[in-house]
Amino acid sequence: MEPKTNGSRERTIDINKIFAIIHKNFIVMTRDKVRIIPLMLFPIFMILVFGYTTGNIPKHIGTAVIAYDNSEISQAIQQEIANSQVFAVRYRVSTEGEARKLLDKGDIRVIIEIPPGLQNDIENGRQAGIVVIVDESDSAVASTAKQTMTAIVNKMSAAISQQKIGQFQASVSAASQILVSQAMRPEQYDVIEASTSSAQANLQTAKKLTDDQLKAVKAAAPAPLMFVVSSKTVMLNESNTYYDVPAGYYSTLAQIGLLQQQSALIGAAAKDVKKSVAVSTKSDNADKARNDYTVRKKAIAAPMKSIQVFTRYSKKGILQPLTYSEKPAYGTGKRPIDFVIPSIIALTIFQGALMGMGRAIAGEKREGSLTRVFLTPTSNATIIAGTLLFYMLFEMCRSSFLIIVSMFIFNIKIEGSLLAIGVVLFIYAGVSTGMGLIVSSIVRTEQQFMAVAMLFSMPSMFLSGALFPIQAMPQILQVVAKFLPVTYGGEALRGLMIKGFSISMVIFPIAILLVFLAIVLSIVFMVFTRNIE
């Protein structure tokens, strides 16, 4: 085998030389302050982004509430939304149209609709649906909003359901107590006929049970309402302790079924009581019996009335009085990828233009070819315009290619006008290129360029909303995001490409981009000098 080095080699490790190398590198590193500052700051930024973003759920998502119903339940739901911290209810509007305008403007991300007659429906045992419209632009925000709202609806629904079952329970209990205390006097009324078929069936079943079997049934049932049947008389167990929070759907459903069955039995028993009273009026003690009848009739009337209300309810109405449903914010069938692509395009243009400038100016500075251009009678404005325009056009070509690829490979449907998209891309590419031009004008080497450019490109990458939800970030980073062109470029592109907005609907981000462009170009003309010191 050929030796890898020629001649003899040093084989000792010289501590002094090691220190000399360390010292030299230290000097080299500390001398280039333009590089070292970003190198030091960058990881802090990363910690901020990753440390606070990952795992954090988005908070204070801009929300508009449309309350068509202003009942107590509606207010309770709104209170719950406000308490969640996830939603920041910025607007209360009266129509969906108004709310959608706010959504389009980007003032809010979520619309929550409380339907008309909510309380009425719930009180009458019908289901009432809460409708949620979520802007999918930011997938993390969207999914958090949906999850949170689903949880709120389920929680409210369970509470209402519990309350209803409780009321039902109380009515049943009250009715049964009255029956037990007032009507069930076996010595007086020997035979009570069950009047309804289901009550009769229950009676038949119950009558067949021995005392031991009854005990067993009572023990086996995990605290359901039980009815106990003695040899001749229907009695209702008034122990209501079963009412823990229902663990699952079926057990709750069973309870409701049982309650409704109970109601029927109570109803039948009540009728039987009346019947027995009617029978007893034929006996000698007519006056007493008539009196009994009036008292009992009055006593049983109120609980019976409320029981009858409950028996009319649908089981779902009791079990899940509130339901959650979603309406698409834009078009139908928009997927998270649809909203990611405009952000990626915005990000790509920014990074490409910024880095391209590093090559264009910082690189030409190093090679000296920029010096050659400065030696010719060519104005700064000409050099700037030529350089800017090339990269603007190049970035437009690149993003057009990206859009076409997205359409064919990722099945993106472009909703808005291509001309408007082109205008936005052009302005935005101008801002991005201009920023690159500024950075490359103030640095001396490409290495410095990379370091300084990173200060812009990294925040853009993380704060553009393409990769991480901005709402989940610390407030300071959310403020930083407001100063990045990528935020507005992405917003305008999302609106035009995916949400199907007209150019007038994205006039705000476009205006901001124009302001950026004006500022950036002014700075470019200030910092781009012929001075090649």
Residue 382 backbone class (left: φ over 0; alpha: ψ -120 to 50; beta: rest): alpha
Q: Which stretch binds another protein (CB under 8 A): 52-60, 96-104, 160-168, 366-374?
A: 366-374
Q: Applying CB under 8 A, which of residues 207, 288, 290, 530 lies at the interface with another protein?
A: 530
In the chain, the N- to C-terminal Cα span, in Å, equals 52
Q: Which stretch binds another protein (CB under 8 A): 143-151, 250-258, 374-382, 433-441?
A: 374-382
* Concatenated DSSP letters of 287-332: HHHHHHHHHHHHHHHHHHHHHHHHHHS-HHHHH--EEEEEEESSSS
Q: Applying CB under 8 A, which of residues 332, 377, 408, 409 lies at the interface with another protein?
A: 377
To the nearest 10 degrees (0 to 180), the angle between helices 380-409 and 418-442 is 130
Q: Which residue has tokens 């003899």?
A: 8
525 lines the binding site for another protein (CB under 8 A): no
Nearest approach, Cβ of residue 444 and another protein (Å):
13
Angle (CA) 70-75-79 rounded to 5° is 150
Q: Which stretch binds another protein (CB under 8 A): 39-47, 60-68, 371-379, 405-413?
A: 371-379
The rounded distance, in Å, linking the Cα atoms of 505 and 171 is: 56
The rounded distance, in Å, linking the Cα atoms of 342 and 489 is: 9
* Concatenated DSSP letters of 7-76: S-------HHHHHHHHHHHHHHHHH-HHHHHHHHHHHHHHIIIIIHHTTPPP-SEEEEEEES--SHHHHH
Q: Where are the alpha helices (DSSP H) in 179-285?
A: 197-208, 211-220, 249-281
Q: Applying CB under 8 A, which of residues 367, 407, 475, 527 lies at the interface with another protein?
A: 367
371 lines the binding site for another protein (CB under 8 A): yes
368 lines the binding site for another protein (CB under 8 A): yes
- Structure tokens belonging to residue 428: 């935005």
Q: Applying CB under 8 A, which of residues 376, 408, 409, 504 lies at the interface with another protein?
A: 376
Q: Which stretch binds another protein (CB under 8 A): 110-118, 147-155, 227-235, 368-376?
A: 368-376
Q: Which stretch binds another protein (CB under 8 A): 76-84, 177-185, 364-372, 463-471?
A: 364-372
The rounded distance, in Å, linking the Cα atoms of 53 and 459 is: 13
Question: Going residue by residue from 378 to 407, which x/- string records binding to another protein, judged by CB under 8 A?
Answer: x-----------------------------
373 lines the binding site for another protein (CB under 8 A): yes
Among positions 97-136, residues that touch another protein (CB under 8 A) are none
The rounded distance, in Å, linking the Cα atoms of 177 and 155 is: 32
- Structure tokens belonging to residue 118: 């909510």
331 lines the binding site for another protein (CB under 8 A): no
Among positions 236-275, residues that touch another protein (CB under 8 A) are none
Q: Applying CB under 8 A, which of residues 216, 375, 385, 479 lies at the interface with another protein?
A: 375
Coil/strand/helix, residue 188: coil
Nearest approach, Cβ of residue 357 and another protein (Å):
16
Nearest approach, Cβ of residue 390 and another protein (Å):
13
Q: Which stretch binds another protein (CB under 8 A): 13-21, 305-313, 370-378, 438-446?
A: 370-378
Instruction: Give me the residues that bind another protein (CB under 8 A), please.
Output: 367-369, 371-378, 530-533
